[in-house]
Structure 1
Amino acid sequence: MKALFRAAFALALVAGPVAAFAAELTSPVGTWKTIDDKTGEAKALVQITETSGKLEGKILKVIKSDDGPNPVCKACDGERKDKPVEGMTILWGLSKDGDEWNGGQILDPKNGKIYKAKMSLDDGGRKLNVRGYIGFSLMGRSQVWQRQE
């Protein structure tokens, strides 16, 4: 009986993290590398969290900036004006709607503009299709972000 218990415990230790990681791939919660839709270059690492069913994304690290090291949001208005891009919340208010998350907004720190946003997972949860748009989603830009482990 003790041997059976030990075997079950050992299996749980191995399978537990695998099951947790598999479950994570059904949600955008995690860390993502943003890929510029025009240049194909990695630009930043964004951490997406969920609070009360709403997603929020914050820039953890700027990988490449046209404005040099430690960029600030020069074009932003209000409380974000001239604040460091690293640590800035750029995505907020998205909630699950079927296979998508929408109803939120996304900030482009390069131009300071805020757009409506929607996103969906692709490639087994390893890619995130992020769309920012004005009015309705046909008029906007899309990026594909890569999940970081």
Structure 2
Amino acid sequence: MKKIISLGILVGLFSATSISFAQDIVGTWQQIDDKSGSPKAIIQIRKESNNTYTGKITKITPRPGYTPRERCNNCPAPYTNQPILGMEIIKGLKYVEGTNNYEKGRVIDPLSGKFYDAKMKLSATGKRLSLRAYLGVSALGRNQTWLRIE
């Protein structure tokens, strides 16, 4: 009987650990271009002291037939002419308690200089992150998939 109870406690602890891992977006992610399906950039997401999440470009992935832009030319201040490499493109994401969702963030597209509202959803495995960038209404936007880099 003690073995069964111990096994149950162990399984419960493992499940709780898996769930908390699945709800964590902190880490390194490969951004996938929603139009071409090719890798676009490496994004590092961290949790801030105010419990929001911020994402920064740490590497621009070379793509065939594409010369990466080095600076954010059309971006408003404080992003004007800032190097894209090292730029914080996501700010203010907040975890939605009891889900794998993060909402109320903002994302900037460094190629167009436009800001969008942002929300993200982490897959149950914790290896895939879906970004929804939109203006005003979530139905009017685009999706991107990001893959966790271990």
**TM-score, normalization by structure 1:** 0.80
2:143 corresponds to: 142
Q: CA deviation at 1:70?
A: 6.0
2:88 partner amino acid: T
Q: CA deviation at 1:123?
A: 5.0
CA contact (8 A) 1:118 1:130 kept: yes
1:83 corresponds to: 82
Per-residue CA deviations over 1:4-32 (Å, capped at 9, x if unaligned) read: xxxxxxxxxxxxxxx98985442111000
1:40 corresponds to: 37
Question: Where does structure 1 lack aligned partners over 5 or more consecutive residues?
Answer: 1-18
CA contact (8 A) 1:95 1:102 kept: yes
Shift of the 47–21 alpha-carbon distance from structure 1 to 2, 3 Å rule, reads: farther
User: Percent identity, aligned pairs only?
Assistant: 37
CA distance in 2, matches of 1:139, 1:75: 22
CA distance in 2, matches of 1:21, 1:148: 17
Per-residue CA deviations over 1:97-125 (Å, capped at 9, x if unaligned) read: 13310011001111000000000111501
Richer in helix (by share): 1
Per-residue CA deviations over 1:45-74 (Å, capped at 9, x if unaligned) read: 000000121000000011136773561111
Q: CA deviation at 1:75?
A: 1.4
CA distance in 1, matches of 2:19, 2:137: 33
**1:93-104 residue pairs with structure 2 within 5 A?**
93-97=92-96, 98-104=99-105
CA distance in 1, matches of 2:90, 2:26: 12
**1:40-119 residue pairs with structure 2 within 5 A?**
40-51=37-48, 52-64=50-62, 68=67, 71-97=70-96, 98-119=99-120
2:25 partner amino acid: P
Moved more, 60-69 or 95-104: 60-69
Question: Where does structure 2 lack aligned partners over 5 or more consecutive residues?
Answer: 1-15
Dislocated runs of 4+, deviation >6 Å? 19-22
CA contact (8 A) 2:33 2:39 kept: yes
